[in-house]
Structures are given as structure tokens and as C-alpha cells.
Amino acid sequence: MAHETPTIPPTPTPHPNLSLAQDCNPCHEWGTVVTDGRHELCPACQRPTNEAINPQ
């Protein structure tokens, strides 16, 4: 008897801040990296800053 693989809904690609990704070598200026087959924000350039968290 054949069994179907359960379908997992795709996760949306994160939206990076491209201005932060300028001159970033790990993500080649894309703002995202692929880890274990998933797109994730680049840990080198897409860190939240205090200004982004607490705009004044």
C-alpha cells in the first residue's frame, strides 16, 4: 500500500533590509542565506538595531 508524504506548507521567504545587506560577503548582498534548505535572514547583516526597535 502506497503512502503519501504529508505536505508541509511552504514558509515565506523573509524580507531583508537590502540597505543593510550592501557590501555583505556572507549573503552576497541578498540579505538572506540558505540554511538546511530554508531561507533565513543573514546573521551578519540583518541584525535588528536599537534604532529599528526604538525609533525616535
pTM: 0.61
Residue 5 lies in a domain: no
Residue 10 forms part of a structural domain: no
End-to-end CA distance of the chain: 62
Please report the pLDDT score of residue 56 as a whole number. 45
What does each C-alpha distance from 56 to 10, 20, 32, 43, 50 come to in angstroms?
Answer: 36, 19, 27, 25, 10
pLDDT at position 1, please?
Answer: 63
In this prediction, residue 16 carries a pLDDT of 94
- Whether 42 is covered by a domain: the verdict is yes
Tell me how many domains the chain contains. Answer: 1
Range of the domain at 43: 18-48
| Residue 11 domain flag | no
Residue 42: predicted pLDDT: 96
Q: What is the pLDDT of residues 7-55, one digit of tens each?
A: 766 677 789 999 999 999 999 999 999 989 888 999 999 986 644 444 4
Q: Characterize 3-40 residue by residue with b for buried, 16 or more Cβ atoms within 10 angstroms of its Cβ, and e for exposed.
A: eeeeeeeeeeeeebeeebbeebeebeeebbbeeeeeeb
Assess if residue 40 is contained within a domain.
yes
* pLDDT reported for residue 49: 61
Asked if residue 4 belongs to a domain, the reply is: no
